[in-house]
Amino acid sequence: MAGTPSRRRYRWITGVCVALTLPGTLLLLVRQMQLYGDGTWLGHYHPVSLRQAMGWLDRHAPPGALVLGGAVSGEWVPALTRCRSYAGHWQFTLDRRRKAREQGEFYAGLPANRHGWLMARGIRYVVWWPGEWNAPIAPLDGEPGLALRWESPEVRLYEVRPSRE
């Protein structure tokens, strides 16, 4: 037997639902794969200038260079460049609590000698993006030992120079 009328009706309704939703679902999946493939998905969540800054970093920084970013940009550094992040994704950062605290203190301007702090940790580049912080962050322009390498109205990249300039 083919089943009861209610069971046949259930199968028919299920088939119609699948037939109606499948094309839209497939189109959505294909579109998402395109967005992830070319990197434009990042623009949905963060400013385009962050992606551009990461592109500059990927082209100019040596592979494995250590980068200090904020709470959000620090997570994107290893995903979008060949660099490492001082305080990146919580799951991939050893001693994350200490590093997150130090990260916040650095951007708040608390270390008296920021250049020495960066050098002691082997940090080569600094991402300055005020949009990822709830409170205003201390500007880095004119900071001894930091050289501006890339900038936009929203994001700046600084290189840590080996000696004070």
Domain boundaries of the chain, sorted by first residue: 1-38, 46-160
For 91-120, what is the mean pLDDT?
90
Give CA torsion, residues 85, 164, 162, 52, to 10 deg.
40
Q: Which pLDDT value is given to residue 36?
A: 62
Residue partners of 163: CB distance under 8 A and separation at least 6: 145
Residue 46 has pLDDT above 50, yes or no: yes
Query: Residue 40 — very low, low, confident or very high, per pLDDT cuts 50/70/90?
Result: low
The CB density around residue 98, as the number of other CB atoms within 10 Å, is 11
pLDDT given at position 81 = 93
Place of tokens 């259930």: 10
- Least confident range from 2-6, 108-112, 139-143, 146-150: namely 2-6
Average pLDDT over residues 26-36: 72
Return the pLDDT at 43. 56
Least confident range from 80-94, 112-126, 134-148: namely 134-148
